[in-house]
Structure 1
Amino acid sequence: MKSNILAWLEEGNITVPSLLFSEYRKLNLNETELVLLLNILTFLERGNYFPTPEELSARMTISTADCHEMLRRLMQRGFLEIIEQYSNEGIRFEKYSIKPLWERLVEQFLVNHQSGLQEATRKTEEMDLYTCFEKEFGRPLSPFECESLAMWMDDDHHDPIIIKAALREAVMSGKLNFRYIDRILFEWKKNGIKTIEQAKNQGRKFRQKQLQKSNPKEEAHNPSVPFYNWLEN
């Protein structure tokens, strides 16, 4: 009994990043492929640098043929590679390397990190947008109004800054309601307005046109049009 435990301890341990277990599905690895890679890592750490399909399949529930095919696919997909090395005596030998797996895992981690930063930024912008609307309306938004805001961002893909600009345009026009703001966003999207500068120009042209319609004679004597910076706090 004691000798068996000692033999088990002498097998040693391998260190595996916990990130691999949480992210392997996102790398499009299945459980069998993961175990195969871990077995290769075990052999490498024990000094067997090029375990055969027979040796690997003996520790798994797949046949030698399936193991051979899986090794081929893992190399094709960039999770495993065979490299050439030389011993101290100058003898060339082949060796499995799972460095490509670690590289893919690092890339996935960076993608997740970047996505997390973008999501945090988006939530901050959304909260700021809700605050701006409640400040202009002078009251909390109704559930319907909150849903409209969410639809403008999620369904219509309007940038929060553009929605804020449309809000300021509605304030300048004296028509502070969601229907009017929705109309502004619809017109801007139809005309390809995607930046603040484009929105400024569009709003300036619209107010100039409205001013000409309301008082054409006075406009003839006074062609200047007042300009308002919607995003000015």
Structure 2
Amino acid sequence: MSKTSILKWLQEGNVTIPGALLNHYKEMNLYEHELVLILHVISFIEKGNEFPTPIELSSRMTISVSECTEILRKLIQKGYIEIKDSYSAEGIRYEKYNIEPLFEKLFDHFLLKSKQEAAVINQQNETDLYTCFEQEFGRPLSPFECETLALWMDDDHHDPHIIKAALREAVISGKLNFRYIDRILFEWKKNGIKTIEQAKSYGKKFRQNQSQNRYKANEGSAQTTKSIPFYNWLEQ
């Protein structure tokens, strides 16, 4: 290939489009011919032709001029493309295609999709949370207990994973009741515990301190049989 051919090929340039458009155009009710036409419009605009004719567009596609005109009409009706008036430096009025509505719709769709996916994940986490509690308690939760779980998530804004960690902490401490778990969550929130790793580290540190205190108490009071209880969150 000659240097001239390479330069000519490079001068063709590239078309810059969001990957989200290729991934979600079907969900946005766009068909392949409509998408390809949009890509050609973008290509023309990026090369300085802001209002390519149906003849120019169809010459690059496998559809007729009339089909191209019809697709353009539908895209405008759907609100993906609009025709705007503009003025040159000399004050001459001309028309151009504007594709900002397409990207606005794409952005709105992407946000909605993200919110829907987050809602599904959150619902799954909440369902798993109720299941975990029922498994640990060995019975269905009472209406009051279900309401308490909901309050922890909705009012106190505890992450379901943190609530699960507090449940495990209660199991380890041998105090499986909602009042005890609520106290753990209160202590964690007061101390800025927001992740599973922080919760594990915090609980481990207190258990180690409690164990050391028990050892010192037994060592210094050999004459007494009084036992030192396991770390009790309710006493903090």
Distance in 1 separating the partners of 2:135 and 2:111 = 36
One-letter amino acid matched to 1:92: R
* Selected match of 1:168 from 142, 147, 151: 142
Does 24-33 or 6-15 show the bigger shift? 6-15
Residues 1:52 and 2:53 are matched in the alignment: yes
Preserved contact between residue 168 and residue 231 of structure 1 (Cα < 8 Å): no
Partner of 2:29 in structure 1?
28
One-letter amino acid matched to 1:21: L
- What whole-Å deviation, never above 9, does each CA across 1:31-86 have from its counterpart, x for those lacking one? 11100000000000111011000000000000000000000000000110000111
Partner of 2:117 in structure 1?
116
> Offset of 1:4 from its aligned partner?
2.5
Unaligned runs of 5+ in 1: 139-163, 172-194, 198-229
Partner of 1:217 in structure 2?
none
Does 3-12 or 125-134 show the bigger shift? 3-12
Distance in 1 separating the partners of 2:147 and 2:86 = 58
Distance in 2 separating the partners of 1:170 and 1:49 = 64
Partner of 1:146 in structure 2?
none
| CA spacing shift, 1:133–1:90, aligned 2, 3 Å | same
Q: Where do 1:138-217 residues align within 5 Å?
A: 167-168=141-142
Distance in 2 separating the partners of 1:52 and 1:169 = 66
Distance in 2 separating the partners of 1:97 and 1:131 = 53
Distance in 1 separating the partners of 2:130 and 2:5 = 66
Partner of 1:8 in structure 2?
9
* Structure-1-length-normalised TM-score: 0.60
Tell me the C-alpha RMSD between the 2 structures. 2.4
Preserved contact between residue 53 and residue 67 of structure 1 (Cα < 8 Å): yes
Distance in 2 separating the partners of 1:105 and 1:19 = 8
One-letter amino acid matched to 1:101: L
Distance in 2 separating the partners of 1:169 and 1:9 = 69
Partner of 1:82 in structure 2?
83
- Give secondary structure in 2 for the equivalent of 1:130: helix
Residues matched between the structures, number: 151
Preserved contact between residue 54 and residue 64 of structure 1 (Cα < 8 Å): yes
- Give secondary structure in 2 for the equivalent of 1:7: helix
- Give secondary structure in 1 for the equivalent of 2:133: helix
Unaligned runs of 5+ in 2: 149-176, 183-236
Residues 1:38 and 2:45 are matched in the alignment: no
* Structure-2-length-normalised TM-score: 0.59
Partner of 2:161 in structure 1?
none
Distance in 2 separating the partners of 1:16 and 1:170 = 52
| CA spacing shift, 1:169–1:111, aligned 2, 3 Å | closer
Does 102-111 or 6-15 show the bigger shift? 6-15
Distance in 2 separating the partners of 1:169 and 1:102 = 47
One-letter amino acid matched to 2:142: R
> Offset of 1:231 from its aligned partner?
7.4
> Offset of 1:137 from its aligned partner?
1.3
- What whole-Å deviation, never above 9, does each CA across 1:104-125 have from its counterpart, x for those lacking one? 1001110111012211211110
| CA spacing shift, 1:231–1:77, aligned 2, 3 Å | farther
Partner of 2:171 in structure 1?
none
Distance in 1 separating the partners of 2:47 and 2:91 = 21
